[in-house]
Chain A
């Protein structure tokens, strides 16, 4: 079996389409990471000097003293109740007069933001690219009919299926884990160098990255299974595209809860749980009468949660059904 896995790994790594997809798995995160780092770079001395000049021009162009006086006279109208004296005047000036930071792009590199933003985008790209790699890997075997030649050397079809499945799943897991870990490690390094890295942020990001790698591996296995079942890359991509495009619309038309939307469940896997809009939740918890959370806010009404375990069961069921159907079909059907 190990020998067969090694052969399939070589076959996988020699496929041109697979190699291109693996290159894209590196190129896309590099691109998105570069954008994230560049867009959150601290202002340069020249930018600060330019902003300072603009600030001085604007302060000189208008008289803010009357508005500051109004603020001091009626602090409640300016959202500053309870303040008095010098502190009140200082706050009023800060609110009314232009401030330097207004002229600078204040976006900081925040790993929590990147985890939900560019990190989620990288995870999505990886899942799609590695699913396509799994699909095209086995689709090529069927298109070229070389699978029959392979079976003349190893007729135990279950083993052949398993070896290919191990390779596409394992490769996706390893590539996904390396890319996501490197992505967040790179951002973490930059954030640390800018002194904006908070405790625990990097670990949270790594955990999200590893969950994403798991999703990518499951996607690759699903792509492989469906393509082996249909014996066609086009059929698999068509089906998945159909589910992605029409799936939500169909569920909505049928009145099925968002809980069963594949996208919601994939998001729950990557984000370790997520929430979705639920009509039934609105009925059960009308208005703003829910319990306060630890930050003192009411829970948002009309939402319910999909936990990581829920999503795992949901996605796992699909992959299990597709995998079993694929294996049974591969073992029993005639090979062209």
Chain B
């Protein structure tokens, strides 16, 4: 039994253009998402190969080369044996527009023999109760997105693959989905969250993989990726006085508006120096690089849609 829910090795996908050219969407991608719950971010610029990778994992597209495993089982060969444990939303929701939301879900549930009660529960979870008998085409984009998430819950999955699940949602909807995803992750479901809204990802993800131009750029725990803080921001009543005290103690400090920036990882040393100088700080904040900064630094030089 593998301790990885998703594992790819040397995964590659090429598309032939109408003009006879070859476009490489994914190249030699080694992806590893650990089991045991939690939310794993799958990040990359538009066109970097995230959705193509997900579509290959789910059997919707055939890889040109490489191997893939879900729950340790090789896919697509053994996909039918594990698909019942995988819920997925790929790109935009795709339902029959003239069917009601309820009928769309019931047809999917019946295909896997899920009980009707699970359909009702899924509708309630995504707060579509009362609108489930409306035609899908009358739904707002946010409601369509929520119906797609409801569909993933029909299987009671161990792995959720969500490709831009908050597209089209209003701020309240985004927060609801974020809380739902966080809750699922904490409940033991492993969630692969593909998104380009990095602030959202940073709030819910425990680990992340970043790809660019179809290639792996970085992967690991979010904390490890971002590294430890190398500076601190200190709020004090008199910043120039604090800067003088810190400089006298050999620390690199600069005054900012109503605060001081100190270039050290050692927070205890800062409080000691300021205390001995009789300066009482009201706030001490470690300054960590955020995911967006890290992401842009990694992907800044990547060009989209590599040609081969």
A interface residues, Cβ below 8 angstroms from B: 3-4, 6-7, 10-11, 14-16, 140-141, 144-156, 332, 334-335
Contacts and interface: CB of A to CB of B under 8 A. Distances in A.
Contact of A144 (B60, B90, B97): B97
20 contacts: A3-B113, A4-B111, A6-B110, A7-B107, A16-B98, A141-B96, A146-B94, A146-B96, A148-B90, A149-B93, A152-B90, A153-B108, A153-B111, A153-B155, A154-B83, A154-B112, A155-B76, A155-B79, A334-B61, A334-B62
Nearest to A149: B94
Interface string B98-118: 110001100110111100000
A3 B95 contact: no
A298 B95 CA distance: 64
Given A144-B94, A145-B94, A334-B61, A154 B79 contact: no
B234 interface: no
B80 interface: yes
B94 A154 contact: no
Contacts of A11: 96, 107
Main SS of chain A's interface residues? helix
A144 B95 contact: yes
Given A140-B96, A146-B96, A151 B59 contact: yes
Nearest to B84: A153
B151 interface: yes
Interface residues of B, number: 31
Top 8 closest A-B pairs, CB basis? Answer: A334-B61, A145-B94, A155-B59, A153-B111, A149-B94, A155-B79, A335-B60, A7-B110
Residue among A16, A145, A152 with most chain B CB within 10 A: A152
Contacts of B79: 155
B108 A155 contact: no
Contacts of B96: 11, 140-141, 144, 146
A155 B113 CA distance: 15
Nearest to A147: B94
B182 interface: no
Given A140-B96, A153-B108, A156-B80, 16 more contacts: A7-B110, A14-B99, A144-B95, A144-B96, A144-B97, A145-B94, A146-B94, A150-B111, A152-B60, A152-B83, A152-B90, A153-B112, A155-B76, A334-B60, A334-B61, A334-B62
B88 interface: yes
A148 B108 CA distance: 12
Nearest to A17: B98
B94 A148 contact: yes
Interface of B: 55, 58-62, 76, 79-80, 83, 86, 88, 90, 93-99, 103-104, 107-108, 110-113, 151, 154-155
A130 B88 CA distance: 35
A152 B79 CA distance: 10
Contacts of B90: 148, 152
Contact of B95 (A6, A146, A153): A146
Contact of B110 (A3, A151, A335): A3
Contacts of A10: 107, 110
Contacts of B112: 153-154
Given A7-B110, A334-B62, A153 B94 contact: no
Contacts of A145: 94
Contacts of A144: 94-97
A14 B58 CA distance: 27
B97 A154 contact: no
A6 B93 CA distance: 24
Contacts of B99: 14
A148 B91 CA distance: 11
A328 to B, nearest CB: 13
A10 B61 CA distance: 27
B88 A152 contact: yes
B157 to A, nearest CB: 11
A14 B103 contact: yes
Nearest to B97: A144
Contacts of A156: 80
Contacts of A150: 108, 111
A148 B98 contact: no
A334 B110 contact: no
A10 B76 CA distance: 28
A244 B240 CA distance: 91
B188 to A, nearest CB: 21
Contacts of B59: 151, 155
A239 to B, nearest CB: 21
Most buried by A among B55, B111, B151: B111
A7 B114 CA distance: 12
- Count chain A CB atoms within 10 A of each CB in B62, B88, B96, B113 and give the residue with the most: B96
Nearest to B56: A334
Contacts of B107: 7, 10-11
Nearest to B79: A155
Contact of B61 (A6, A141, A155, A335): A335
Nearest to B93: A149
B14 to A, nearest CB: 12
